[in-house]
Structure formats: C-alpha cells, structure tokens
A and B are shown apart, each in its own frame.
Chain A
Amino acid sequence: MNAIINYFSEVLNGGISLLKGMGITGKHFVRSPKEIITQQYPENKDTLVFGERFRAQLFMEHNDENQIRCDACQTCETVCPNGSIEVVWHREADPETGKKKKVLDKYVYHLSMCTFCNLCVLACPTEAIKMNQEFETAVYDRSELTKVLNKPGSKFSQDFVDKSLEK
C-alpha cells in the first residue's frame, strides 16, 4: 500500500516541480520585452557603457601644450611580460642645469603582443601611460597594430607630472 502511495506522490511531486519550472520561465517570457539584455552593437555605439576595469588599449596622455609625463625611464619596458613596449630614447644635455638626461624619441606599443595585464600602468612612476576603453582595434594589416603613442614634438614636463601626482 505504501508503495502505491509513494508511486502516486512521486508522480504528483514531479508534476508540481515541472510546473514550478515552467512558472519561472513563463515569468521570464512575460518580462522579457522590457528586460532584454541583447546589445545591438553598431546601433548602440553612442550609448555603450563599460565597466571601470575594462581595458582596451594603452595610450599616453598629452596636455594642451603637447606635453607628456613620460621621462623615458623604461620601467614599463622592463616590467612588460611580453615585450610589447619599446622605448626609443637618446641622451641630451638639459639647457638649464647642463646635466645629461634621457629624452623620449618614440614610445612604440605593439598591440598585437599586449595581453592587457596593466602592469606597465601600475609600474609607471609618473602616471604617463594609461589604459583606455577604445575597443575597436581590428585592422586589415598586422603592421597597423604597432603604434607610436607619443605625438610628434611632444616634450616631457615636470610640472605636468607634479600636477597629476598631487591629485
């Protein structure tokens, strides 16, 4: 007798749990027109919102007077695990003190080798480089992935560094 009762209660419980599942998905179906999570990408380009920690590619900050914070110390080049940063520099005498100092020629960034680990940004003593969120990095030729981050004619400025470090 017990077996028969168990049999039917099993059937009933099974049915109830199936109905519960259908209730949940049914609610989803009714709510879905308002809560659709699909991002229709090219159309919503202007309203795309990214998380704070999303990193797309490296860039170097320039101010209005075309000054940069990079003093070519090469810490980033040393710390990069993939060798995706190359700092090209030369020594030049400082006009005020006469001391010889490193001057940045080219800050070469190989996007094709970068794993976006952010170590270079963390290591930079002057906060010269940062990660931005421009994610559309596809190009037609591999050579286009090698970028020079400092603009031509840009100069290192100690004031610019001091200002940003104060913040």
Chain B
Amino acid sequence: MYDFSKMTGAIHEWLSSLMPSILVTTIEWVLIGVVFLALFAILGLVLVILERKIAGFFQFRLGPNRVGPYGMFQTVADTVKLLLKELVSTNKVDKFLYNVAPFFVIIAPLMIMAVIPYGFGLTAYDINVGLLFVMAVSSIGVVGILLAGWSSNNKYSLIGAMRSGAVIISYELSMGLSALLAIVLLAGSLNLNDIVMSQQAGWWLFRGHIPAIIAFVIYIITGTAETNRVPFDLTEAESELGAGYHAEYSGIKFAFFFLSEFVNMFIISALAVTIFLGGWLPFHIPGWEGFNNSMNYIPGPVWFFLKTGVIIFLLMWFRWTFPRLRIDQILTLEWKYLLPISLLNLVLMAFVVMMGWVF
C-alpha cells in the first residue's frame, strides 16, 4: 500500500524550506480548500449527468444526448446557464436568512468530506471522533433547509422544510444508533481511519454477518432519507409543493441546493463504503493469494471511488424503482420499524462482539 502521507509530507517539507511556517500553513489551507472545492464541483457535474443517464436507461430512454459525445457535457452547459441566470427573490423574504441558507446547506457536506479517508494517509482532517463529527455536522445541513423554507415566506417552502426537519431528525436516530454504533462496537474506534484499518482481515459487512447486514440495510434506508432523495423526497415533492424548500431560489443559489443533494449522496455512499465495505482497502478473497496480491496493485483511491460508485448506483436504482412515501408513512417506517429493529440489532451486535462470533 502506498502511503499518501509521504507525498503530503514531502510537499510540506518543500514549502517549509522556502518560507516561514505561518505562510506554509496558509498556503496549505488554501491548497486543501481548492482541492476540496474542485472535488465538490466535479462530483456535482459527474453525478448529475450520471443520474440523468442512468434514469434514462432505467426507462428505456437515452437521457441527455445532444451536448458533446453521448451528452456528456450537458451538466457543464447547465452549470453555465445557472451561473448566468438572474437571482430573483420576492420582496417579503427574510433577506439575511434567505441569503445565508444556501451556504449552510453547502458547508455541511464540505466539512464531512474533510474527514473521509480517500486512501492510505489521505485524509484532510484526521480526528479521533470522526464518526461523531460526521453525525454532528450532517445535522447542520437540515438547519440550512429549515432556514430556506422559513425565510422564503412561502407556505409550500415552509411545509417542505418542516417535513425535511421531521424526516432528518427522526432518521438520524436509527442511523447513528444502529448503523454507525454497531460498527463502532466491532471496530472499537470512532476514528474513520482506524475503522478502515480494522477491516484488513475482511470487510465488516461480511465479518459482522447477520447484525452487520441488518445495520447496512438500515444505514442505506436512513441514508436515502437523509439526502431527501426518492422515495423520501417529500421535502421537494414536485407534485404537491412545487419545489419545496427551494421554490423561491433561482440561479446559483438554487444550484447550491441542487448540488448539495448530489454531494450528500456521495457522502452517504462514501461513509457506507468506509464503514461497511473497507474504505480504500482492496477487495480480497481469503485463501486466493495470487488474486489478493494482484488486487493490491490497484491504488486505494481507485478502490474507494469504485466502491462508492457502486453504492451511488444502488441509491439511483432505488430512486427509479420505489414510489414516494407519504409523511406519515415515513415517520411510521422510522419510529415503528427502523428504530426498534436497530435497537434490537445493536443488542444483537453487542452480544455477537462479546461472544467473539466475528469472522
């Protein structure tokens, strides 16, 4: 495995030899910021075109097919359009909150992206409470959504925002309790890098067998709900609420909400990969030495993005299969089904770990 901290360390030393330490720190901040913003933008562009193409194939359509080969530059054109569009707002919006809401929504996924390990030694912000940090910061996004709904001074926006609040607050419970705590029990650490490294003998999804699989299923369900995607997209609910909480936004502010939905999807998938599917670790089959050795030559980030892509495809598959739930059905699903099952699963997982029934 190639240690990316060697590369970053070399850059740090090279910069230190040239300039004083304060300047080095500033430059490194800017560099990392630029890298993550670039990743953010690229993820938005790629995921939107991917979603539209895959949606097309699910319905025997072609999807976008005019801009560039196979329509691959459609999202670039859309972005240019959104950047050039006039920012329209109504007279009676709460100006300050209305303008600040998109930044809440966009900052939350950016902060989470900092703690995700993309490869060996490739984490921007390696903290020992990584998972707790993720859970805490992911709740900031919903504040932005609530602010957007409230400040728009529009009843449909407010209904959408309140629904989003209700869904995210309740689904965060079973996400934290079941999915993440169950794996913390197995790995014995909240640090995302440690969780990845603890999966060298095998991914937790397989080693944790029954309780881990239940936790994974619950995590995927709650993750879909947290990103407000179909079948839990009643915050937007085009047929009932117009566009929900971002009905009053246009141009680049709308693009922020739109982009954050897709980047949130990436983050949910990346977290699923980190926790259940071994993060950037290569795919190994116990006993197949030659196969395992050849897998080791594929670099970690490639594995990470490959696995994340599979989970993202799964989320898109959900979107184009399941019908939308009503708000009471969503809350019933959470409080009557997911939460009891996840509590039960947590007890089961604790028992399994205590008895040492882990592969």
Chain A interfacial positions (CB closer than 8 Å to B): 11, 18, 21-22, 24-26, 28-29, 31-33, 35-38, 40
Q: Are A36 and B65 in contact, CB atoms less than 8 angstroms apart?
A: no
Nearest to A31 among chain B residues (CB) is: B60
Q: A25-B317, A28-B57, A32-B60 are in contact. List 14 more A-B contacts (CB 8 A).
A: A11-B341, A18-B321, A22-B321, A25-B320, A28-B60, A29-B54, A29-B317, A31-B60, A35-B60, A36-B60, A38-B56, A38-B60, A38-B65, A40-B62
CA distance A31 to B57 in the complex (A): 9
B345 → A minimal CB distance (Å): 12
Q: Are A25 and B62 in contact, CB atoms less than 8 angstroms apart?
A: no
Chain A residues contacting B60 (CB-CB under 8 Å) are: 28, 31-32, 35-38
> Which 10 A-B pairs give the minimum distances between C-beta atoms?
A38-B62, A32-B57, A25-B321, A37-B60, A21-B321, A38-B61, A32-B60, A22-B321, A29-B58, A29-B57
Q: Are A36 and B61 in contact, CB atoms less than 8 angstroms apart?
A: yes
Chain A residues contacting B294 (CB-CB under 8 Å) are: none
CA distance A37 to B57 in the complex (A): 10
Chain B residues contacting A28 (CB-CB under 8 Å) are: 57-60
Q: Are B65 and A22 in contact, CB atoms less than 8 angstroms apart?
A: no
Chain A residues contacting B61 (CB-CB under 8 Å) are: 36-38
Q: Are B317 and A22 in contact, CB atoms less than 8 angstroms apart?
A: yes
Chain B residues contacting A36 (CB-CB under 8 Å) are: 60-62
CA distance A60 to B320 in the complex (A): 49
Chain A residues contacting B335 (CB-CB under 8 Å) are: none
B351 interface contact, C-beta 8 A: no
B357 interface contact, C-beta 8 A: no
Q: Please indicate which of the listed interface residues A21, A24, A38 has the most CB atoms of chain B within 10 Å of its own CB.
A: A38
Q: Are A40 and B58 in contact, CB atoms less than 8 angstroms apart?
A: no
Chain B residues contacting A24 (CB-CB under 8 Å) are: 321
CA distance A22 to B316 in the complex (A): 11
Chain B residues contacting A29 (CB-CB under 8 Å) are: 54, 57-58, 317
B322 interface contact, C-beta 8 A: yes
Beyond A18-B322, A40-B65, whether A25 also contacts B58 by CB under 8 A is yes
Nearest to B54 among chain A residues (CB) is: A29
CA distance A17 to B295 in the complex (A): 36
Chain B residues contacting A35 (CB-CB under 8 Å) are: 60
Chain B residues contacting A18 (CB-CB under 8 Å) are: 321-322
User: What are 26 inter-chain pairs, A to B, with CB distance below 8 A?
Assistant: A11-B337, A11-B341, A18-B321, A21-B322, A22-B321, A24-B321, A25-B58, A25-B320, A25-B321, A26-B317, A28-B60, A29-B54, A29-B58, A29-B317, A32-B56, A32-B57, A32-B58, A32-B59, A33-B57, A36-B62, A38-B56, A38-B60, A38-B61, A38-B62, A38-B65, A40-B62
Q: Please indicate which of the listed interface residues B54, B62, B317, B321 has the most CB atoms of chain A within 10 Å of its own CB.
A: B321
CA distance A25 to B319 in the complex (A): 11
CA distance A33 to B54 in the complex (A): 11
CA distance A33 to B320 in the complex (A): 17
Nearest to A28 among chain B residues (CB) is: B58
Chain B residues contacting A38 (CB-CB under 8 Å) are: 56, 60-62, 65
CA distance A21 to B320 in the complex (A): 10
Q: Which of B206-254 contact A (CB under 8 A)?
A: none
Chain A residues contacting B320 (CB-CB under 8 Å) are: 25
CA distance A21 to B321 in the complex (A): 6
B15 → A minimal CB distance (Å): 48
Q: Which of B37-77 contact A (CB under 8 A)?
A: 54, 56-62, 65
B225 → A minimal CB distance (Å): 14
Nearest to A25 among chain B residues (CB) is: B321
Chain B residues contacting A11 (CB-CB under 8 Å) are: 337, 341
Chain B residues contacting A33 (CB-CB under 8 Å) are: 57
CA distance A37 to B56 in the complex (A): 10
A27 → B minimal CB distance (Å): 10
CA distance A25 to B320 in the complex (A): 8
Chain A residues contacting B57 (CB-CB under 8 Å) are: 28-29, 32-33
Chain B residues contacting A40 (CB-CB under 8 Å) are: 62, 65
CA distance A26 to B320 in the complex (A): 10
Chain B residues contacting A31 (CB-CB under 8 Å) are: 60
Nearest to B319 among chain A residues (CB) is: A25
CA distance A36 to B318 in the complex (A): 21
B48 → A minimal CB distance (Å): 18
Chain A residues contacting B65 (CB-CB under 8 Å) are: 38, 40
CA distance A16 to B86 in the complex (A): 48
B340 → A minimal CB distance (Å): 9
